[in-house]
């Protein structure tokens, strides 16, 4: 009995300190990909002490269970045929045949109603427009705007350039469909969260730079650019900085980010901070930026927005920065899905102040 008692404590400690973290990490690596190393090196790299950080990051995702009630709310709202009067569902657009949903403002008497384009996040590898139906519905009401929420081709279906092309295609669609849906095609606001914020920013900068890789006629790009009156964001703007943050959390190999960017070498090309620094005086005619970031965000740290704000200020560009106390990464979108969420009114107060 005494021997069994002495053995049970080390075994329990081994399971807790070694078995559990390694099991979680191995499962994550198996599901999302091993390090890009030759032969057995990918396994030795995956099993370094970083697994403790990775295990913690995986366990942190359990907190998403608290949004179970919200999940069933948006599921039932989106399926309820009675709500179809609020939106047009499944409109095709762009070269890849993606779909978007369009939400009407409750006050449609104004013919020159603004258009808000909401781009969701999902680490460049996941997401669906249906998830954000309640967000888009309340946004249309709060901002008195038509709101469209498009899908885009996430990894592995496409890389980041393909995602930017999809969002640019959505803006081309908006310019051509304004009369049909009664919104002002010369008054467009982009709103993006997480990876969506990154994509909104890059799309705007690529359009300003009239990039050939968008495969959109230069005249169409030049017509869209002055129509974007503002960009409201909460997300990633320097990919190398964010990759270093992912390394600190031990998730850099299971993350979709470097895969969607086609490798580390492309980080500067896909970083809004780098793109802005390449612009000459003639290109710095960018729309005003509004940056919102929760101080409790551990997925994308608040310094992502503060450093981007500092860069915009140094270039004498219009920017407003809001640091929202106690708001985390997910709450920045979940809490504007319903008025009874804790931060609904505080987030919309910041948006409306600049909107």
Give pLDDT tens digits for 164-197: 999 999 999 999 999 999 999 999 999 999 999 9
- Contact at 8 Å (CB) between 129 and 82? no
Domain residue extents for the chain = 2-59, 81-354
- pTM more than 0.85: yes
Alpha-carbon gap, residue 148 to 279, rounded angstroms: 30
**Which run of H or of E encompasses 89?**
strand 87-93
Which residues lie closer than 8 Å to 275 by C-beta, 6 or more apart?
202, 205, 206, 209, 269
Please name the residues in contact with 16: beta carbons below 8 A apart, sequence gap of 6 or more.
none
User: How does the average pLDDT of the chain come out, rounded?
Assistant: 91
Cβ contact 182:113 at 8 Å: yes
Task: For 81-354, give the CATH class.
Answer: alpha beta
Write the DSSP assignment of 177-225 as a string of letters. Answer: HHHHHT--TT-EEEEEEEHHHHHHHHHHHHHHTT-GGG-S-HHHHHHHG
Rounded to a whole number of angstroms, the distance between the first and last alpha carbons of the chain is 71
Number of C-beta neighbours around residue 342 at 10 A? 12
**Least confident span in 1-10, 217-226, 261-270, 298-307:** 1-10
Other residues' Cβ atoms within 10 Å of the Cβ of residue 173: 18
267-305: per-residue pLDDT in tens? Answer: 999 999 999 999 998 889 899 999 999 999 999 999 999
Q: What is the dihedral of CA 201, 205, 208, 211, to 10 degrees?
A: -130
Does 33 have pLDDT greater than 90?
Answer: no
The pLDDT score that the predictor gives to residue 10 is: 63
Instruction: Write the DSSP assignment of 21-32 as a string of letters.
Output: HHHHHHHHHHHH
Picking from 148, 87, 160, 142, the residue whose alpha carbon sits closest to that of residue 119 is 148
Give me 114's structure tokens: 């603004």
Q: Is the pLDDT of residue 19 over 70?
A: no
| Residue-level pLDDT at 6 | 53
pLDDT tens-digit profile of 35-71? 777 777 777 776 777 778 888 888 888 888 999 999 9
Q: Report which of 199, 195, 211 is spatially closest to residue 167, judged by C-alpha positions.
A: 199
Q: What is the DSSP letter of 262?
A: T
Assess contact for 239 and 272: CB atoms under 8 A: no
Q: Where are the beta strands (DSSP E) in the chain?
A: 87-93, 98-103, 115-119, 146-150, 188-194, 228-235, 289-294, 319-324
């Amino acid at each position: 009995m005494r021997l069994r008692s002495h053995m049970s404590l080390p075994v329990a400690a081994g399971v807790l300190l070694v078995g559990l973290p390694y099991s979680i990490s191995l499962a994550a690596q198996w599901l999302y990909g091993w390090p890009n190393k030759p032969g057995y090196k990918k396994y030795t790299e995956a099993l370094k002490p970083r697994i403790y950080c990775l295990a913690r990051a995986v366990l942190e995702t359990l907190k998403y269970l608290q949004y179970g009630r919200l999940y069933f709310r948006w599921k039932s709202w989106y399926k309820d045929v009675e709500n179809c009067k609020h939106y047009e569902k499944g409109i095709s657009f762009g070269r890849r045949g993606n779909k978007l949903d369009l939400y009407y403002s409750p006050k449609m008497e104004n013919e020159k109603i603004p258009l808000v384009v909401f781009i969701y996040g999902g680490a460049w590898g996941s997401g669906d427009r249906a998830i954000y139906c309640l967000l888009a519905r309340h946004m249309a009401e709060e901002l008195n705007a038509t709101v469209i929420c498009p899908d885009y081709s996430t990894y592995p279906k496409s890389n980041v350039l393909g995602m930017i092309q999809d969002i640019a295609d959505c803006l081309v669609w908006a310019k051509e469909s304004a009369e049909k849906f009664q919104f002002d095609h010369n008054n467009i606001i982009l709103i993006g969260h997480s990876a969506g914020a990154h994509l909104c920013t890059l799309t705007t900068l690529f359009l300003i730079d009239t990039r050939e890789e968008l495969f959109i006629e230069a005249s169409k790009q030049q017509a869209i650019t002055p129509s974007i009156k503002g960009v409201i964001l909460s997300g990633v703007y320097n990919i190398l900085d964010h990759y270093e943050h992912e390394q600190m959390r031990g998730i850099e190999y299971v993350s979709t980010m470097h895969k969607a960017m086609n490798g580390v070498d492309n980080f500067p090309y896909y970083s809004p901070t780098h793109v802005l620094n390449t612009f000459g005086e003639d290109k710095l005619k960018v729309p005003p930026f509004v940056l919102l970031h929760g101080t409790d965000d551990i997925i994308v740290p608040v310094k992502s927005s503060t450093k981007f704000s500092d860069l915009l200020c140094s270039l004498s560009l219009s920017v407003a920065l809001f640091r929202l106390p106690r708001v985390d990464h997910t709450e920045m979108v979940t809490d504007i899905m319903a008025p009874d969420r804790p931060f609904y009114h505080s987030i919309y107060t910041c948006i409306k102040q600049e909107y």
